[in-house]
Amino acid sequence: MIGLCIGLFCIATLYKTPQSRYDQSSFSYYPIELMCDVIKIIDGDTLLLQCPNVTGNIKKTLRMIRLWGIDAPERKQGEWGNHATKMLKNLIGKNRLIKVQIIEQDRYQRMVGKLYLNDLDIGLEMVKQGVVSVYHHYNHDEVYINAEKKARISRLGIWSVSGA
């Protein structure tokens, strides 16, 4: 029994929690604006970007970024999820350098922020096109809310289907 306890203790002290492939370290203040390289678009509201690290030195790290204030259909939700992903890819286009205003870090250690291409707020544009909805639990911005109302009234994108 003592040998078993010693063995379990040794295993427990040698075990290390798996590290994420992505930088999950927090910044010292929010919001913070960064210029990041687009690595991959995961779905309609999540991207993988390469951004300056927390210390602000030249080295860049991989960050999982979730678009603030919107909720996109998931890719597994059929055509609407794929449509949202495609719209995000089209809006970003061939641009690989994008401005990110990181607002916070969520409970999954992703950075949550707004993406800008020149002066275009990409999340807001997706709401205007009816491709995504406003995440009302977190987003109380009247510009976003009014854009969603207009898309609903115009029956654009996801709002073209009854009960969307």
What pLDDT does 161 receive?
A: 84
Whether CATH 2.40.50.90 fits 21-123? yes
Q: Is 164 helix (H, G, I), strand (E, B) or coil?
A: coil
- The partner residues of 37 in beta bridges, in order of sequence, read 50, 97
Closest among 72, 70, 92, 91 to 80, alpha carbons compared? 72
Query: What DSSP element (H or E) covers 111?
Result: strand 111-117
Burial of residue 23 (CB within 10 Å: 0-12, 13-18, 19+) is: middle
Q: Is the peptide bond prior to 31 cis by the omega test (within 30 degrees of 0)?
A: yes
Two structure tokens written together for 90: 């089209």
Q: Which of 24, 26, 32 minimizes the C-alpha distance to 114?
A: 32
Which residues have CB under 8 Å from 109's CB, separation 6+?
20, 24, 64
Tens digit of pLDDT at every position of the chain (164 positions): 565 445 545 454 554 444 467 788 888 888 999 999 999 999 999 999 999 887 666 788 899 999 999 999 987 777 889 999 999 999 999 888 999 999 999 988 889 999 999 999 999 999 999 999 999 999 999 999 999 999 999 999 999 987 65
Residue spans of the domains in the chain: they are 21-123
